[in-house]
Structure 1
């Protein structure tokens, strides 16, 4: 057999006293195991890191870029202006990934009305009342002083107390009625799907945390699966040693076999890791799948709990929902709705006093007072939603709701939550495995020869 007995730099047979066969049987599996672990570890790393693009300018790249194949242009290694670098697959595809997660998870958990009523509007009304009462007097005074300072100054302390007491007494009912009316119309005020999608797109770190925390045990397992490179390497070592005895194959140069086999092992360990973690969703006979069921599917109850907690804590929480209501795409509609509520409530509170106040200040100024009351309430809204203890209690309700709904999903539906995120760029992981395998195979050639 035409086999080089030593590497370009070291005569391994002379140094170890072993034959070429045993040198390959030891070195090839070890290199393959290292390659497998390295391929899968860097593959998982590449999914998430770095969050932000990091790169450097390359002269002429901006001119060359339009001529590159479409698939190559889609790689997360380019930035405008001739910059080449890298960004994690998931952060780089934040908008698309957010879309998949929302469509596969949030939309299946419930509608915006379902989420709204899980916040328990009655408890929110009680909280609003308690918060507003602490600052009610300064709030009312600031509106009156701003919109009609003369009237406010002319009112005696006793008259001011009447206004304070009347509004304070009405606050619980006002808050409850307002939240009830919002609940009846919430589907016209907020799109929970778009809210979650926009938030995740603008917060790639949160998107990364959601994917990582749901599938952390499985992603770590994917790295360990790389150790399968060891048995694959043993088989490959036999191929390297004996392929010269096979007709036709003997014409293939040894270095081509080494590099091709190394690349194949890199792809195989990556492919197996993804398959074991994500397929099949439902238990199958072992003659179809040795592992019977995907590891993530087996852990659906715990993964559902993790997802529910992250969703409630980071995405669909009271501050985010309040911000979407007031400042989102439908914010003008919400403000108009709130103005209508404030107008009705003020008219009801003032009752018989309304005509007197209107006559004293004029219709235009009276309407300004009502509008100012609404604006003051909206300006005060952040104070009401920034109570961490209250928000934590509300988050627990959403967490339980999301967890229970996700646990009820069929395994195939649940698996789509994460697999749909990774599946889109799985080919990049396989290419990465092949290239890294080629690198390790080249190093083996350099050290041990063909």
Structure 2
């Protein structure tokens, strides 16, 4: 015992460095583990095995699908996104750009299908024709929007819109996890240092007493593994406050911060994903846009039939039945092509009317603990073992380096 005390007194600065290094191991392994979750966004290295891609970007489709399942099944439905929009108010908001759009369509169609006749008309007559169509356009657009609202599930795929946005923009997918779980990641890093230092005290004691070289790498391995495992456990468990040893109470940090997490998550979803611009694009250019196109074609056909009921036979005779069908198709295509830009003028009104952020926050308060956990848990669950194993391996390597240093400086 005297020899041990004397040895410690002689080399105490070196021995005290052991818990400091253990704390460093705990901290650094957490920083690396978190970094490995999100970076790099694209694979770096030599495929297929020599290199790395962040876990979240690598599994972007799956991660986005899981996040979207919670979003679209528990938080908001496609009908809720569009239900609050008033077709008549939308038409009023886009009245001026709609007039310009209609004029461009009339001129293009007339020049294409009756170029000689259209060009020969006096400008006042051309203007009168354009004004007549412009006067009818608001009613046509109102009817189109009303039909879209009445059959949302067949013309708007909310899940596809969300998944497509997140898979296309992996940085945005990373932000969802990083911003919603910012405090949790900070806790992981800090807890790694604290737990590492505590383990390091035991490690130091074992080395001072036994001086067995295997102690250092084994403790380094244990530090890297245990601090990773414990930090992840403490983030999500227990889901409700629980007292331990009668001394202190703990609740999984993610669940304890439920309100703050909900606000960060919903802000990002409302500002970056379920936006008026994205919804308009999804309806008019998404995977179900062919159904919207068919709806527009039907409205155009009805409108032409209504306005040309007497002259329609003459019109068909003049340009031919086939060209008449092509004309209706061309009008519908031009409307579909120009509507996204025209509808862009309604974004401010739509954002206020849909109120996505507050709707999501309200729905998140209704989730049970397990459903709420699924917002962030997929980012950890996908390759949790890989992250923990990486921490253990790094700890082992650093522990081995400690042995060489200690044997050299305190033989």
Normalization by structure 1: what TM-score? 0.81
Preserved CA contact (<8 Å) 1:322 1:385: yes
Which position in structure 2 is the counterpart of 1:315? 273
Deviation of 1:48 (Å):
0.8
- Residues 325-375 of structure 1 show CA distances to partners (whole Å, capped at 9, x for unaligned) of 344333333322221222223333445454554454343333222211111
How many Å apart are 1:291 and its aligned residue? Answer: 4.9
- Decide whether the 8 Å contact of 1:51 with 1:205 is kept in 2: yes
Whether the 8 Å contact between 2:81 and 2:354 is mirrored in structure 1 is: no
Correspondence list, 1:265-414, <5 A: 265-287=223-245, 290-350=248-308, 352-387=310-345, 390=348, 393=351, 397-414=355-372
Aligned to 2:182: 216
Q: Is the 8 A contact 2:40 2:53 kept in 1?
A: yes
> Deviation of residue 294 (structure 1)?
1.7
Of the three residues 184, 188, 208, the one matched with 1:241 is 208
CA contact (8 A) 1:97 1:421 kept: yes
For these two proteins, the number of residue pairs brought into alignment is 406
Q: Which one of 28, 39, 42 corresponds to residue 38 of structure 1?
A: 28
Query: Could you say which residue in structure 2 is the equivalent of 1:89?
Result: 55
Partner residue in 2 for 1:423: 381
Task: Return 294-303 or 87-96, whichever deviates more.
Answer: 294-303
- Given that residues 151 and 361 in structure 1 are in contact (C-alpha distance below 8 angstroms), is that contact kept between their aligned partners in structure 2? no
State the SS of the aligned residue for 1:254: coil
Is residue 264 of structure 1 aligned with residue 214 of structure 2?
no
Structure 1 205/118 Cα, relative in aligned 2: closer, same or farther at 3 Å?
farther
Residue 40 (structure 2) pairs with residue 50 (structure 1): yes
Q: Structure 2 vs 1, CA of residues 126 and 95 (structure 1 numbering), >3 Å: closer, same or farther?
A: same
- Change in 2 beyond 3 A, CA 1:291/1:347: farther
Q: Is the 8 A contact 2:184 2:235 kept in 1?
A: yes
Unaligned runs of at least 5 residues, structure 2: none
SS class of match (1:255): coil
Once the two structures are TM-superposed, the CA of residue 117 in structure 1 deviates from its matched residue by: 2.1
1:143–1:376 Cα contact (<8 Å) kept: no
Q: Is the 8 A contact 2:276 2:347 kept in 1?
A: no
1:385, distance to aligned residue in structure 2 (A) = 4.4
Q: What RMSD, in angstroms, separates the aligned Cα atoms of the two structures?
A: 3.0
The answer to whether the 8 A contact 1:121-1:179 is kept is yes
Q: Against the structure 1 CA distance between its residues 301 and 237, is the aligned structure 2 distance closer, same or farther, given a 3 Å change threshold?
A: same
Cα distance in 2 for residues equivalent to 1:162 and 1:416: 60
Give deviations 1:211-241, integer Å, cap 9, x for gaps: 1111112212211111221122112222333
3-state SS of 1:417 partner: coil
**Shift in CA distance, 150/89, structure 1 to aligned 2, threshold 3 Å:** same
Give how far 1:445 is off: 0.9
- Are the counterparts in 1 of residues 240 and 255 from structure 2 also a CA contact under 8 Å? yes
SS of residue paired to 2:51: strand
* DSSP 3-state at the match of 1:18: helix
Q: Is the 8 A contact 1:166 1:349 kept in 2?
A: no
Q: Which residue of 2 aligns with 1:202?
A: 168
User: 3-state DSSP class of the match of 1:285?
Assistant: strand
State whether structure 2 residue 10 is matched by structure 1 residue 19: yes
1:23 CA displacement: 4.7
Q: 3-state DSSP class of the match of 2:365?
A: helix
SS in 2 for 1:336: helix
Q: Is the 8 A contact 1:222 1:273 kept in 2?
A: yes
Q: Which residue of 2 aligns with 1:63?
A: none
Q: Do the aligned residues in 2 keep the contact of 1:125 with 1:175 (CA within 8 Å)?
A: yes
Q: Is the Cα–Cα contact under 8 Å of residues 24 and 237 in structure 1 kept in the other structure?
A: no
What is the CA distance between 1:280 and its match in structure 2? Answer: 2.3
Aligned to 1:172: 138
Offset, 1:130:
3.3
